[in-house]
Amino acid sequence: MVTFFAKRLGILLFTMLVVSFLIFITFEFSPGDVARNVLGPFATDLQLQLYRQEHGLDRPFLVRYVEWLGNFLQGDLGYSTLYKTDVNDFIWGRIGRSLILAGIVFAIIAPGCVIFGILAGMREGSRLDRVVSVLSMVTTSIPEFASGVFLVSIFVIWLGLLPGTSPLEAAGGWSVTSQLVLPVLVLVGFYLGYLVRMVRASMVEVMTRPYIRTAVLKGLVYRDVILKHAVRNAMITPFTAILLQLNFLVSSVVIVEAVFAYPGFGRMMLEAGLYKDVATVEAGALFGVFFVVLTQMAGDFSYMMLNPRIRFS
Protein backbone atom coordinates (compact mmCIF):
# COMPACT_ATOMS: atom_id res chain seq x y z
CA MET A 1 0.00 0.00 0.00
CA VAL A 2 2.86 2.39 0.80
CA THR A 3 4.39 1.69 -2.61
CA PHE A 4 1.04 2.36 -4.28
CA PHE A 5 0.62 5.79 -2.71
CA ALA A 6 4.30 6.66 -3.20
CA LYS A 7 4.01 5.98 -6.94
CA ARG A 8 0.83 8.02 -7.19
CA LEU A 9 2.44 10.90 -5.30
CA GLY A 10 5.42 10.83 -7.66
CA ILE A 11 3.08 10.88 -10.66
CA LEU A 12 1.19 13.80 -9.12
CA LEU A 13 4.30 15.92 -8.60
CA PHE A 14 5.69 15.13 -12.06
CA THR A 15 2.36 15.90 -13.73
CA MET A 16 2.04 19.23 -11.92
CA LEU A 17 5.57 20.19 -12.99
CA VAL A 18 4.94 19.32 -16.64
CA VAL A 19 1.58 21.08 -16.70
CA SER A 20 3.01 24.24 -15.14
CA PHE A 21 5.81 24.37 -17.72
CA LEU A 22 3.45 23.77 -20.64
CA ILE A 23 1.08 26.50 -19.50
CA PHE A 24 3.94 28.93 -19.02
CA ILE A 25 5.39 28.27 -22.46
CA THR A 26 1.95 28.38 -24.09
CA PHE A 27 1.28 31.85 -22.68
CA GLU A 28 4.79 32.94 -23.66
CA PHE A 29 4.35 32.16 -27.38
CA SER A 30 0.62 32.80 -27.75
CA PRO A 31 -0.61 35.97 -29.50
CA GLY A 32 -1.26 39.01 -27.37
CA ASP A 33 0.69 41.09 -24.90
CA VAL A 34 0.16 41.21 -21.14
CA ALA A 35 1.33 44.80 -20.93
CA ARG A 36 -1.09 45.82 -23.67
CA ASN A 37 -3.96 44.05 -21.92
CA VAL A 38 -3.23 45.83 -18.65
CA LEU A 39 -2.49 49.34 -19.95
CA GLY A 40 -5.04 49.35 -22.74
CA PRO A 41 -4.89 49.95 -26.50
CA PHE A 42 -3.83 53.62 -26.20
CA ALA A 43 -0.66 53.02 -24.17
CA THR A 44 2.54 54.30 -25.73
CA ASP A 45 5.56 52.15 -26.51
CA LEU A 46 7.46 53.78 -23.67
CA GLN A 47 4.70 52.95 -21.18
CA LEU A 48 4.62 49.35 -22.39
CA GLN A 49 8.39 49.06 -22.09
CA LEU A 50 8.38 50.49 -18.57
CA TYR A 51 5.61 48.09 -17.51
CA ARG A 52 7.56 45.09 -18.84
CA GLN A 53 10.69 46.19 -17.02
CA GLU A 54 8.81 46.85 -13.77
CA HIS A 55 7.17 43.39 -13.80
CA GLY A 56 10.16 41.50 -15.20
CA LEU A 57 8.46 40.58 -18.48
CA ASP A 58 11.57 41.54 -20.46
CA ARG A 59 13.64 38.78 -18.85
CA PRO A 60 14.24 35.37 -20.49
CA PHE A 61 11.41 32.86 -20.33
CA LEU A 62 13.25 30.22 -18.30
CA VAL A 63 14.40 32.77 -15.73
CA ARG A 64 10.82 33.90 -15.11
CA TYR A 65 9.56 30.31 -14.95
CA VAL A 66 12.18 29.24 -12.40
CA GLU A 67 11.43 32.33 -10.31
CA TRP A 68 7.70 31.64 -10.44
CA LEU A 69 8.27 27.99 -9.51
CA GLY A 70 10.39 28.96 -6.52
CA ASN A 71 7.75 31.39 -5.29
CA PHE A 72 5.03 28.81 -5.81
CA LEU A 73 6.86 26.26 -3.68
CA GLN A 74 6.95 28.87 -0.91
CA GLY A 75 3.18 29.43 -1.14
CA ASP A 76 3.30 32.61 -3.23
CA LEU A 77 0.92 32.08 -6.17
CA GLY A 78 1.86 35.36 -7.86
CA TYR A 79 0.07 38.58 -8.77
CA SER A 80 -3.05 38.60 -10.93
CA THR A 81 -2.96 41.14 -13.74
CA LEU A 82 -6.70 40.71 -14.23
CA TYR A 83 -7.93 41.09 -10.66
CA LYS A 84 -5.12 43.47 -9.64
CA THR A 85 -4.32 41.58 -6.44
CA ASP A 86 -2.44 38.53 -5.22
CA VAL A 87 -3.84 35.23 -6.47
CA ASN A 88 -3.97 33.96 -2.90
CA ASP A 89 -6.51 36.67 -2.05
CA PHE A 90 -9.30 35.36 -4.28
CA ILE A 91 -8.57 31.90 -5.70
CA TRP A 92 -9.51 29.97 -2.57
CA GLY A 93 -12.90 31.64 -2.41
CA ARG A 94 -13.54 30.76 -6.05
CA ILE A 95 -12.46 27.17 -5.48
CA GLY A 96 -14.64 26.93 -2.38
CA ARG A 97 -17.74 28.07 -4.28
CA SER A 98 -17.16 25.52 -7.01
CA LEU A 99 -16.61 22.82 -4.40
CA ILE A 100 -19.93 23.74 -2.78
CA LEU A 101 -21.74 23.45 -6.11
CA ALA A 102 -19.94 20.22 -7.00
CA GLY A 103 -20.62 18.72 -3.58
CA ILE A 104 -24.36 19.38 -3.79
CA VAL A 105 -24.59 17.96 -7.31
CA PHE A 106 -22.49 14.90 -6.44
CA ALA A 107 -24.59 14.20 -3.35
CA ILE A 108 -27.60 13.97 -5.67
CA ILE A 109 -26.19 12.12 -8.69
CA ALA A 110 -24.17 9.50 -6.76
CA PRO A 111 -27.14 7.80 -5.03
CA GLY A 112 -29.52 8.76 -7.84
CA CYS A 113 -27.59 6.99 -10.59
CA VAL A 114 -27.23 3.87 -8.45
CA ILE A 115 -30.93 3.69 -7.59
CA PHE A 116 -32.30 4.37 -11.08
CA GLY A 117 -29.60 2.33 -12.81
CA ILE A 118 -30.22 -0.73 -10.64
CA LEU A 119 -34.00 -0.48 -10.91
CA ALA A 120 -33.77 -0.23 -14.71
CA GLY A 121 -31.17 -2.99 -15.03
CA MET A 122 -32.99 -5.47 -12.82
CA ARG A 123 -35.67 -6.02 -15.47
CA GLU A 124 -34.28 -5.23 -18.88
CA GLY A 125 -36.96 -4.19 -21.37
CA SER A 126 -39.60 -3.37 -18.76
CA ARG A 127 -41.60 -0.14 -18.83
CA LEU A 128 -39.46 1.35 -16.08
CA ASP A 129 -36.30 0.43 -17.98
CA ARG A 130 -37.54 2.11 -21.14
CA VAL A 131 -38.61 5.28 -19.31
CA VAL A 132 -35.30 5.58 -17.45
CA SER A 133 -33.28 4.90 -20.61
CA VAL A 134 -35.15 7.48 -22.69
CA LEU A 135 -34.95 10.17 -20.01
CA SER A 136 -31.25 9.47 -19.51
CA MET A 137 -30.49 9.85 -23.20
CA VAL A 138 -32.55 13.03 -23.47
CA THR A 139 -30.94 14.79 -20.51
CA THR A 140 -27.42 13.75 -21.55
CA SER A 141 -27.88 14.85 -25.17
CA ILE A 142 -28.98 18.39 -24.26
CA PRO A 143 -25.97 20.72 -23.81
CA GLU A 144 -25.64 22.48 -20.50
CA PHE A 145 -26.11 25.97 -21.95
CA ALA A 146 -29.29 24.85 -23.74
CA SER A 147 -30.84 23.26 -20.65
CA GLY A 148 -29.80 26.31 -18.63
CA VAL A 149 -31.61 28.67 -21.00
CA PHE A 150 -34.63 26.34 -21.07
CA LEU A 151 -34.89 26.25 -17.27
CA VAL A 152 -34.41 30.01 -17.03
CA SER A 153 -37.25 30.53 -19.51
CA ILE A 154 -39.58 28.40 -17.37
CA PHE A 155 -38.67 29.14 -13.75
CA VAL A 156 -37.42 32.72 -14.11
CA ILE A 157 -39.24 34.37 -17.01
CA TRP A 158 -42.50 32.43 -17.06
CA LEU A 159 -43.15 31.38 -13.46
CA GLY A 160 -40.89 33.86 -11.67
CA LEU A 161 -40.05 31.34 -8.97
CA LEU A 162 -36.26 31.51 -9.08
CA PRO A 163 -33.53 34.09 -9.78
CA GLY A 164 -31.81 34.05 -13.17
CA THR A 165 -28.32 34.58 -11.76
CA SER A 166 -26.34 33.08 -8.91
CA PRO A 167 -23.92 35.68 -7.47
CA LEU A 168 -24.23 33.98 -4.05
CA GLU A 169 -25.23 37.25 -2.43
CA ALA A 170 -28.51 37.83 -0.61
CA ALA A 171 -29.63 40.54 -3.04
CA GLY A 172 -32.91 41.28 -4.78
CA GLY A 173 -34.90 39.35 -2.20
CA TRP A 174 -33.44 35.99 -3.30
CA SER A 175 -31.68 33.75 -0.81
CA VAL A 176 -28.39 32.01 -1.55
CA THR A 177 -30.20 28.66 -1.50
CA SER A 178 -32.62 29.72 -4.22
CA GLN A 179 -29.71 30.94 -6.35
CA LEU A 180 -28.19 27.46 -6.30
CA VAL A 181 -31.30 25.65 -7.55
CA LEU A 182 -30.95 26.24 -11.30
CA PRO A 183 -27.18 25.53 -11.57
CA VAL A 184 -27.70 22.34 -9.58
CA LEU A 185 -30.63 21.24 -11.77
CA VAL A 186 -28.63 21.78 -14.98
CA LEU A 187 -25.63 19.80 -13.74
CA VAL A 188 -27.72 17.01 -12.22
CA GLY A 189 -29.67 16.55 -15.43
CA PHE A 190 -26.55 16.45 -17.58
CA TYR A 191 -24.38 14.12 -15.47
CA LEU A 192 -27.06 11.91 -13.94
CA GLY A 193 -28.27 10.51 -17.27
CA TYR A 194 -24.79 9.39 -18.31
CA LEU A 195 -24.13 7.60 -15.03
CA VAL A 196 -27.59 5.99 -14.94
CA ARG A 197 -26.96 4.44 -18.34
CA MET A 198 -23.58 3.13 -17.20
CA VAL A 199 -24.96 1.57 -14.01
CA ARG A 200 -27.91 0.12 -15.93
CA ALA A 201 -25.63 -1.50 -18.54
CA SER A 202 -23.47 -3.03 -15.84
CA MET A 203 -26.52 -4.30 -13.94
CA VAL A 204 -28.00 -5.85 -17.09
CA GLU A 205 -24.78 -7.71 -17.72
CA VAL A 206 -24.57 -9.01 -14.14
CA MET A 207 -28.19 -10.18 -14.15
CA THR A 208 -27.38 -12.55 -17.04
CA ARG A 209 -24.49 -14.22 -15.21
CA PRO A 210 -24.86 -17.92 -14.28
CA TYR A 211 -24.36 -17.35 -10.54
CA ILE A 212 -27.39 -15.03 -10.46
CA ARG A 213 -29.58 -17.64 -12.15
CA THR A 214 -28.22 -20.31 -9.81
CA ALA A 215 -29.04 -18.20 -6.76
CA VAL A 216 -32.59 -17.63 -7.99
CA LEU A 217 -33.10 -21.30 -8.81
CA LYS A 218 -31.89 -22.30 -5.35
CA GLY A 219 -34.77 -20.34 -3.88
CA LEU A 220 -32.92 -17.41 -2.41
CA VAL A 221 -35.00 -14.36 -1.68
CA TYR A 222 -34.90 -12.15 -4.77
CA ARG A 223 -34.06 -9.08 -2.71
CA ASP A 224 -31.03 -10.85 -1.23
CA VAL A 225 -29.92 -11.95 -4.71
CA ILE A 226 -30.00 -8.35 -5.88
CA LEU A 227 -28.48 -6.68 -2.83
CA LYS A 228 -25.91 -9.28 -1.79
CA HIS A 229 -24.78 -10.59 -5.17
CA ALA A 230 -25.82 -8.48 -8.15
CA VAL A 231 -25.38 -4.93 -6.89
CA ARG A 232 -21.87 -5.30 -5.54
CA ASN A 233 -20.57 -6.89 -8.72
CA ALA A 234 -22.47 -4.48 -10.93
CA MET A 235 -20.98 -1.46 -9.16
CA ILE A 236 -17.34 -2.47 -9.68
CA THR A 237 -17.15 -1.01 -13.19
CA PRO A 238 -19.16 2.23 -12.82
CA PHE A 239 -17.90 3.06 -9.32
CA THR A 240 -14.71 4.70 -10.58
CA ALA A 241 -16.66 6.66 -13.19
CA ILE A 242 -19.04 7.93 -10.53
CA LEU A 243 -16.20 9.09 -8.31
CA LEU A 244 -14.39 10.76 -11.21
CA GLN A 245 -17.42 12.97 -11.86
CA LEU A 246 -16.06 15.17 -9.09
CA ASN A 247 -13.27 16.16 -11.48
CA PHE A 248 -15.72 17.38 -14.10
CA LEU A 249 -17.97 19.04 -11.56
CA VAL A 250 -15.11 21.12 -10.15
CA SER A 251 -13.02 21.90 -13.23
CA SER A 252 -15.48 21.69 -16.14
CA VAL A 253 -18.50 23.70 -15.03
CA VAL A 254 -17.42 26.89 -16.79
CA ILE A 255 -20.53 26.87 -19.02
CA VAL A 256 -22.95 26.69 -16.10
CA GLU A 257 -20.99 29.30 -14.15
CA ALA A 258 -21.01 31.62 -17.17
CA VAL A 259 -24.74 31.16 -17.84
CA PHE A 260 -25.75 31.88 -14.25
CA ALA A 261 -22.95 34.35 -13.43
CA TYR A 262 -21.74 31.98 -10.72
CA PRO A 263 -18.47 33.26 -9.15
CA GLY A 264 -16.69 29.92 -9.24
CA PHE A 265 -13.45 28.29 -10.32
CA GLY A 266 -14.36 27.58 -13.95
CA ARG A 267 -15.49 31.13 -14.70
CA MET A 268 -12.31 32.47 -13.09
CA MET A 269 -10.16 30.26 -15.32
CA LEU A 270 -12.03 31.38 -18.44
CA GLU A 271 -11.64 35.07 -17.66
CA ALA A 272 -7.98 34.67 -16.69
CA GLY A 273 -7.18 32.69 -19.83
CA LEU A 274 -8.79 35.28 -22.12
CA TYR A 275 -6.88 38.04 -20.33
CA LYS A 276 -3.57 36.11 -20.40
CA ASP A 277 -3.35 36.23 -16.61
CA VAL A 278 -0.68 33.56 -16.37
CA ALA A 279 -0.40 33.57 -12.56
CA THR A 280 -4.09 32.84 -12.08
CA VAL A 281 -4.18 30.20 -14.80
CA GLU A 282 -1.08 28.49 -13.43
CA ALA A 283 -2.48 28.33 -9.90
CA GLY A 284 -5.89 27.16 -11.09
CA ALA A 285 -4.48 24.53 -13.44
CA LEU A 286 -2.22 23.07 -10.77
CA PHE A 287 -5.14 22.86 -8.37
CA GLY A 288 -7.11 21.10 -11.11
CA VAL A 289 -4.30 18.59 -11.68
CA PHE A 290 -3.95 17.99 -7.95
CA PHE A 291 -7.68 17.41 -7.56
CA VAL A 292 -7.87 15.09 -10.58
CA VAL A 293 -4.95 12.91 -9.51
CA LEU A 294 -6.20 12.85 -5.91
CA THR A 295 -9.64 11.72 -7.06
CA GLN A 296 -8.12 9.05 -9.28
CA MET A 297 -6.10 7.77 -6.34
CA ALA A 298 -9.26 7.55 -4.24
CA GLY A 299 -11.04 5.80 -7.12
CA ASP A 300 -8.25 3.24 -7.56
CA PHE A 301 -8.14 2.58 -3.83
CA SER A 302 -11.92 2.12 -3.60
CA TYR A 303 -11.91 -0.09 -6.70
CA MET A 304 -9.39 -2.37 -5.05
CA MET A 305 -11.56 -2.57 -1.96
CA LEU A 306 -14.57 -3.61 -4.06
CA ASN A 307 -12.64 -6.15 -6.13
CA PRO A 308 -10.48 -8.42 -3.93
CA ARG A 309 -8.75 -9.85 -7.02
CA ILE A 310 -6.88 -6.56 -7.46
CA ARG A 311 -3.91 -5.96 -5.22
CA PHE A 312 -1.83 -2.88 -4.49
CA SER A 313 1.27 -2.66 -6.64
Residue 184 has what pLDDT?
A: 92
Q: Is the residue at 20 inside a domain?
A: no
pLDDT at position 219 is 78
Residue 87 lies in a domain: no
Q: What is the pTM of this model?
A: 0.81
pLDDT in the model for residue 4: 67
Per the domain annotation, does 204 fall within a domain? Answer: yes
Which residue range is the domain that position 126 belongs to? 93-265
Q: How far apart are CA 36 and CA 205, in angstroms?
A: 59
Q: Does a structural domain hold residue 5? A: no
The CATH number assigned to the domain holding 184 equals: 1.10.3720.10
pLDDT (tens digit, 9 = 90+) per residue, 259-280? 888 888 888 888 888 888 888 8
What is the number of structural domains in the chain?
1
- Does residue 154 sit within a domain? yes
Per-residue pLDDT at 191: 87
Q: Which residues of the chain have pLDDT under 50?
A: none
Domain assignment present for 237? yes
- Does 284 fall in a domain? no
Single-letter residue type at 128: L
289, part of any domain: no
Q: What is the pLDDT of residue 108?
A: 92
Please tell me the predicted confidence (pLDDT) of residue 233.
Answer: 79
